[in-house]
Amino acid sequence: MAVLPAGSRTVVLEKHDGGIKNMSGLTHIDENGNAVMVDIAEKEVTLRTARASGLISMSGEAFKQIWDGNTVRSAKGDVLAAARIAGIMATKKTPELIPLCHSLLLTGTAVEFCIMPKEHSIKCECSVKLHGRTGAEMEALTGVSVALLTIYDMCKAVDKDMEISRIRLEEKEGGANGHFIRGGSV
């Protein structure tokens, strides 16, 4: 067994009859500890879906100025409409932001919001669908992140102390790893 430094991370490699194997389980690290794009040429084309969520919380005062009980508003316009478009655009731009992501031909993207007045929060959920050789988890996570950042941008004049949190994969389906649902696989 050999241990090679790869930036600030240690990659554990083990010799096998067929050569050296990356024992870390990280698919984007090769046998030399280098970052690589995963080769998906031999994978089956299947229907793949991913759903991610996240939350933005703010002060009660800011929330009252942004949410009037019926609509979300700010000096810059319709907050959720802008955030929805930004989230959708982000799913399509993910490989430009995350260096080792594959370019995917998405067949559907949805960004939805849940207003949580008692918590002074807005929950965002992004769902992505495609027929392809790799999953769309990164696209769903990127969509949620950018949608929430857009809310922050549009509301920062009212509250710079807003907090974006709990960005996570909720569900993924398709491919060799099967169906994942947060809290347990199906």
Q: How far apart are CA 95 and CA 132, in angstroms?
A: 15
Q: Which residues of 106-144 are buried (b: 16+ CB within 10 A; e: fewer)?
A: beebbbebebeeeebbbbbbbbbbbebbbbbbbbbbbbb
How far is residue 186 from each of residues 97, 166, 182, measured CA to CA in Å? 31, 22, 10
Count of residues in the chain: 186
Q: Which of 80, 88, 31, 66 is nearest to 157 (CA)?
A: 66
Name the residues annotated as catalytic: 153
